[in-house]
Structure 1
Amino acid sequence: MSKIQETLSEMAKDLYSVGGIDKTTLRRFDINALPPVPNYTATQIAALRHKLGLSQSVFAAYLNVSDRAVKKWEQGEAKPTGATLKLLSIVENKGLDVIA
């Protein structure tokens, strides 16, 4: 992180701590204020898909991955990574409508 970024981050944290800015604004200045992206277990992925009432292939289409990938995740043979983890987190917290 550059010196300017560090300074902006510290200023944003200070403003947040005294109520000068809200959490959303803080996230624009401080990468550490972003919520962590969770790792999902095979059981959690299957439970999310079942909760949404989707087949593996339809769930895969929403996430822009293969149905084979979803099958492997649910069997514990592979794990989602990167942007797919973020999409799973968004779907879990906000529903399918935000990515559809």
Structure 2
Amino acid sequence: MAKTRSRSDASEAIHSAASGLHRANVIDKKTMREYDELCIEEVPEFNAKDIARIRKGVNVSQNVFALYLNTTVSTVRQWEQGDKKPSGIAARLLQLIQKNGLAIFG
């Protein structure tokens, strides 16, 4: 299972306990979703300047950045011009690159 990003260590412990209770059928899906909303960190939002700053901070071209993010150069360009916003996994990857650089790709 993929590791989720918790709001804090306490949230991670609470979510882990709730997940165990859910697997044991002690709490239902609806309650588990409530724990997810309370404990798991929201996907960050990035504006055009943020994205360009992140890319330039790791010193790569839009072409190379697109390859790392498994997207097109056109998409990266649209993000950096503010025509589109990354969401979901792309936003999470940008968050990780911002924090750890390209080393996360190992």
| Superposition TM-score, scaled by structure 1 size | 0.70
Q: What are the Cα deviations for residues 42-79 of structure 1, in whole angstroms up to 9, with x where unaligned?
A: 00000000111010011111110001100010011111
Q: Determine if the alignment matches structure 1 residue 50 to structure 2 residue 56.
A: yes
Q: Output the TM-score relative to the length of structure 2.
A: 0.66
Cα distance, 1:26 vs structure 2? 2.7
User: Paired residues, what number?
Assistant: 80
Structure 1 stretches of 4+ with a deviation exceeding 2 A read 21-30
Change (3 A) 1:27 1:89: farther
Higher relative contact order (CA 8 A, sep 6+): 2
- Which consecutive residues of structure 1, in runs of 5 or more, have no partner in the other structure? 1-20
Instruction: Give the corresponding residue for 1:26.
Output: 14
Cα RMSD, aligned residues only: 1.8
SS in 2 for 1:53: coil
Q: Which moved more, 1:69-78 or 1:88-97?
A: 88-97
- Aligned with residue 81 of structure 2, among 69, 72, 75: 75
The question of 1:94 aligning with 2:100 is answered yes
Out of 42-51 and 29-38, give the one that drifted further.
29-38
**CA-CA distance at 1:23 after TM superposition:** 4.2
Alpha-carbon shift at residue 82 of structure 1 (Å): 1.5
- Equivalents in 2 of 1:91, 1:82: separation in Å? 15
